[in-house]
C-alpha cells in the first residue's frame, strides 16, 4: 500500500512536469509562429504593392505613387493610388494571379475594384486553387480613367490557420513524447520495494512493514501509512541520527507537499505506540534530527 501510494505520487509529479513542459513549449511555439506570421504578412503586403505598381505602369503612369496598403479586415487588404488610372480587366487578373502565386497561403481570394467616390464595384472576380472554381468575367475590356481602390479578400485558411496547425501539431507531438516518457520512466520511490518485505526486531518490538503492524509483548498495534514509512527509515538505521530534512524529503517529497505536514506529530504518535517497550524510544538530537534509540 505505501509503495503504491508512492508510485501514484511519483506519477503525479511526472504528469505535472509534462503539463509544465507543454505549457512552456506552447508559449515558445506561439511566439515563434507569431514572428513567422508577421514576416508572411509583411511579404504579402509587398506583393500587393507590386500589384499596384504594375497596374500603374500598364496604365502608362510611371511617376505617381501606390499609397500604403491598408489592412481593412483580418484577411482583407486594400490597394490605393495617388492618382486616377485605367486598367485592362484581363491584365489585372493575370497580374494578381502571377504575383500572388508567390504567396504560399494565397490560393483562394476575391478581388473587387471599387470606385473611390461611392464605393460601388467597378469590376470583380474570384480565384480558387481549383481552377474550375474561378469566377472571372468581362475579360478584354478597358475601364475608364477614374479613382479606384482594389480590395483583395483572402480565404481565412491561410497564415492564421497554418500557424494554428503548426502550434497544435507541435503540442500533440510533445504530448505523445511526454506520454511515452511518462510510461517508460518509473517514478522514484523514497524507499525500495524490498524494504517493505522485511520484518525488523529491536528489543521486544517486532515491526512488520508490509502488514504495517507492531507486535510488542504479544500485543498487535496497527500503523498508518506515514507512520510505517517513518519507522521504516528509523529501523534501517537504528541508533543513528537522521536529519530532519531527510525525513521530510523521504516522507513527503513525492507528494509534492512538505510544508503543512507535521513531522513532530508523527514522531509523537510513534513514541506512544513504542512506549510499551521502555528500551525503545525516538529521541531528539538537538539542531540535527532524530534517532531511534535501542537499548540493550
Phi, psi of 144 (to 5 degrees): -65, 160
**At 256, is the secondary structure helix, strand, or coil?**
coil
pLDDT in tens, 9-42: 455 555 666 666 666 666 655 555 455 567 778 8
- Model confidence at 187: pLDDT above 50: no
Exposure of 210 in the CB half-sphere (CA atoms within 13 A): 7
Of residues 257 and 157, more confidently modeled: 157
Q: How far apart are CA 251 and CA 232, in angstroms?
A: 11
Q: How far apart are CA 139 and CA 142, in angstroms?
A: 9
Query: Under a CB-based contact definition with an 8 Å cutoff, are residues 124 and 110 in contact?
Result: yes
**At 195, is the secondary structure helix, strand, or coil?**
helix
Q: How far apart are CA 200 and CA 223, in angstroms?
A: 14
User: How confident is the model at residue 6, as a pLDDT?
Assistant: 47
User: How confident is the model at residue 1, as a pLDDT?
Assistant: 40
Q: Which domains does the chain have, with CATH numbers?
A: 30-161 (no CATH), 190-294 (1.10.10.10)
pLDDT in tens, 215-263: 988 899 999 988 998 999 998 989 999 998 888 888 776 554 454 457 8
Of residues 48 and 31, more confidently modeled: 48
> In the chain, helix, strand, coil percent, each to 5?
45, 25, 30
Query: Under a CB-based contact definition with an 8 Å cutoff, are residues 149 and 78 in contact?
Result: yes
Q: Show the cell assigned to 142.
A: 478597358
From the list 292, 269, 268, the residue with the least C-alpha distance to 221 is 269
Exposure of 232 in the CB half-sphere (CA atoms within 13 A): 27
Query: Under a CB-based contact definition with an 8 Å cutoff, are residues 197 and 208 in contact?
Result: no
Mean pLDDT, residues 118-134: 89
The pTM of the full predicted model, rounded to 2 decimals, is 0.46
Amino acid at each position: 500500500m505505501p509503495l503504491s501510494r508512492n508510485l501514484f505520487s511519483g506519477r503525479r509529479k511526472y504528469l505535472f512536469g509534462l503539463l509544465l513542459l507543454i505549457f512552456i513549449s506552447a508559449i515558445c511555439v506561439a511566439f515563434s509562429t507569431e514572428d513567422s506570421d508577421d514576416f508572411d504578412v509583411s511579404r504579402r503586403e509587398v506583393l500587393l504593392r507590386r500589384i499596384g505598381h504594375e497596374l500603374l505602369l500598364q496604365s502608362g503612369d510611371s511617376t505617381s505613387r501606390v499609397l500604403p496598403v491598408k489592412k481593412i479586415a483580418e484577411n482583407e487588404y486594400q490597394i490605393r493610388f495617388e492618382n486616377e488610372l485605367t486598367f485592362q480587366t484581363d491584365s489585372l487578373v493575370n497580374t494578381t494571379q502571377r504575383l500572388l502565386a508567390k504567396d504560399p497561403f494565397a490560393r483562394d481570394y476575391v478581388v473587387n475594384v471599387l470606385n473611390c467616390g461611392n464605393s460601388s464595384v467597378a469590376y470583380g472576380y474570384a480565384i480558387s486553387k481549383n481552377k474550375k472554381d474561378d469566377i472571372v468575367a468581362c475579360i478584354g475590356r478597358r475601364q475608364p480613367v477614374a479613382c479606384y481602390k482594389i480590395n483583395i479578400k483572402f480565404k481565412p485558411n491561410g497564415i492564421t490557420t497554418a500557424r494554428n496547425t503548426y502550434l497544435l501539431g507541435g503540442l500533440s507531438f510533445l504530448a505523445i513524447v511526454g506520454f511515452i516518457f511518462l510510461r517508460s520512466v518509473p517514478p522514484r520511490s523514497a524507499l525500495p520495494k524490498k524494504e517493505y518485505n522485511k520484518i525488523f526486531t529491536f528489543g521486544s518490538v517486532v515491526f512488520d512493514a508490509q502488514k504495517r503492524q507492531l507486535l510488542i509483548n504479544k500485543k498487535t498495534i496497527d500503523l498508518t501509512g506515514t507512520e510505517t514509512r517513518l519507522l521504516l527509515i528509523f529501523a534501517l538505521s537504528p541508533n543513528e541520527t537522521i536529519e530532519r530534512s531527510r525525513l521530510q524529503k523521504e516522507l513527503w517529497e513525492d507528494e509534492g507537499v512538505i510544508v503543512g505536514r507535521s513531522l513532530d506529530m508523527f514522531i509523537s504518535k510513534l513514541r506512544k505506540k513504542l512506549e510499551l517497550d521502555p528500551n525503545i524510544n525516538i529521541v531528539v538530537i538537538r539542531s540535527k534530527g532524530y534517532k531511534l534509540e535501542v537499548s540493550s
